[in-house]
Amino acid sequence: MARKIDRRDVLKGAGTAGVVGLAGCITQNGSGGDTGGGGGETGDTTDSGMETTEGSGGSESMRTVMHSVLMPVTGDLASLGGPIRDGGTLPVKQLRAAGDMPVEFDQTVEDTQTDPQAGIQAANALANAGYPTVCGPASSGVNLQVTQQVLIPNGMVGCSPSSTSPNVTTLDDNDLIFRTAPSDALQGQVMAQVSDENLGHTSAAVMYVNNDYGQALADSFTQSFENNHGGTVQQQVAFTKEKSSYTSELSTAMNGSPGMLVVIGYPASGIQIFRDYYANYSDDTDILVTDGLVDPTLPENVGNNMSNVYATTPQATGPGQEEFASLYEEEYGRAPGVFNAHAYDASAVCLLANVKAGTNDGSVIKEEMRPVANPSDGGTEITPGNLPKGLRMVANGEDVYYSGASSSVNFDENGDMTAVTYAFLQYNTDMEGNIETLSTIDFQA
């Protein structure tokens, strides 16, 4: 049952001069900006190429809460990264719109370009500017390098909404790295389960993007499919992102006529992969993709309805899911997509932890991530619908625990989620990009 949203806390003219008690600024990388979604901030471009939007009002004596969002708004993940970024920036917009905040907000957005080196450069810019928390990065191939080379050495808290590699769990991170997305160690098991029980296959071939995300998920699926479901993976074929042709990789994968094809990758590469597939192979073969290829624009870009394509993806089923969806649609004029709720939750927890810590110091904020998220005796439950109330309570020294849009957002000792839900999807038979949910699967970490 959806919780009733306090209309005083819903977005009404966020970031405009008419909102009482707002202050601080949102700065955004000029290359990423607010492309890919409506409701974006606008402002003057400075000499550094950064775009700045000033809030209004506020007292100079108020403490400024600094937070950043690091997402791929260009590159292979651009079509997904823009909406995920929008989910991550929404909490600050919501809090500013609510007015009467006990703190000011300084939020910035940087673009990883879906590239590890660009991500490292962007993260260093955030570290140099003093941002203690980061919602992101998105892909595991970028996240692992950014966290190890920038966030951990600089004592910054990272909370990724969509980095799913099992290698994130075992990072030597000094308890700085969290995520609201589940580990692919779980998704590999879900993929194997639906391949066997829902699709009825005993053999498969796997094509995977050649990075940490692709390799780890391919290995997790293969191990579970063969050891737990008696299946056979005939081929594992790695591919490089954004090539002009994938006919060679497809030929290797389809050699021996596997019962199904598993594709693990991102949309920009996926367009060419599926164009090449449908040009050379039958659409009678089932194809299973993962969250990185759950993109409603794919059928139109590929030129095929892709009705033989199924998917598994983390499902947003948290207590505040309906509240978040309402806030997101009101702000951006469209329904949220994959990992959008996870990004909102990541930023919301970082903001609450910062206020509880009372300082823009990642080494202090990290100690408050679990206290503001995990259930506690006597604490007040906070959801997306009453996030402004929760922030005010934390500022007053009261105990709260955040129940999110993506899940209940309970962190274990590794900063991972303790319980998650996956959706089993199918691309629909039209060309409008409709993706149908066939079933949901609950998993305990």
DSSP sequence for 279-291: HHS-TTSEEEE-G
Q: Are residues 255 and 147 in the same domain?
A: no
According to DSSP, the β-strands at 50-54 and 24-29 are: antiparallel
For residue 13, pLDDT over 70 is answered with: no
Please tell me which residue, 126 or 292, carries the higher pLDDT value. 126
For residue 69, pLDDT over 50 is answered with: yes
Q: Give a yes or no: residue 406 inside a domain.
A: no
For residue 422, pLDDT over 80 is answered with: yes
Nearest to 174 by CA among 191, 159, 199, 157: 157
Q: Are residues 162 and 79 in the same domain?
A: yes
| Prediction pTM value | 0.77
Q: For position 445, what pLDDT does the model report?
A: 57
Q: Give a yes or no: residue 169 inside a domain.
A: yes
For residue 16, pLDDT over 70 is answered with: no
276 pLDDT band (50/70/90 cuts)?
Answer: very high
Helix residue ranges, H only, 78-134? 78-98, 116-129
444 pLDDT band (50/70/90 cuts)?
Answer: low
> Mean pLDDT over residues 3-29, rounded?
33
Which segment of 107-121, 154-168, 190-204, 431-445 scores lowest on mean pLDDT?
A: 431-445
Q: Give a yes or no: residue 401 inside a domain.
A: no
> Mean pLDDT over residues 306-324, rounded?
95
For residue 439, pLDDT over 70 is answered with: yes
For residues 125 and 363, is the Cβ–Cβ distance under 8 A?
no
The string of pLDDT tens digits covering residues 370-415 is 999 999 888 999 999 999 999 999 999 999 999 999 999 999 999 9
Q: Are residues 57 and 191 in the same domain?
A: no
Would you give the distance in Å from CA 166 to the centre of its chain?
16
| CA 207 – CA 265 distance, rounded (Å) | 8
Q: Are residues 124 and 33 in the same domain?
A: yes
Read off the DSSP letter of residue 271. Answer: H
Q: For position 184, what pLDDT does the model report?
A: 85
Give the sheet arrangement for strand 309-314, strand by strand.
232-239, 203-209, 260-264, 286-289, 309-314, 419-427, 435-444
Domain count, the chain: 2
Q: What is the residue range of 273's domain? A: 184-316+419-444
Q: Are residues 159 and 303 in the same domain?
A: no
Q: For position 212, what pLDDT does the model report?
A: 85
For residue 232, pLDDT over 60 is answered with: yes
The CATH number covering residue 218 comes to 3.40.50.2300
Residue % of the chain over a pLDDT of 70: 85
Q: Are residues 148 and 16 in the same domain?
A: yes
Between the alpha carbon of residue 128 and those of residues 122, 132, 150, 308, the distances in Å are: 10, 10, 10, 48
Q: Give a yes or no: residue 400 inside a domain.
A: no
Between the alpha carbon of residue 170 and those of residues 173, 237, 368, 415, the distances in Å are: 8, 26, 21, 10
3-class SS at 170? coil
Nearby residues of 181 by Cβ (< 8 Å), 6 or more positions away = 160, 161, 162, 163, 164, 314, 339, 342, 406, 417
301 pLDDT band (50/70/90 cuts)?
Answer: very high
Q: Are residues 306 and 335 in the same domain?
A: no
Residue 370 is encoded by which pair of tokens? 């679990």
Which of 19-23, 162-166, 202-206 tops mean pLDDT?
202-206
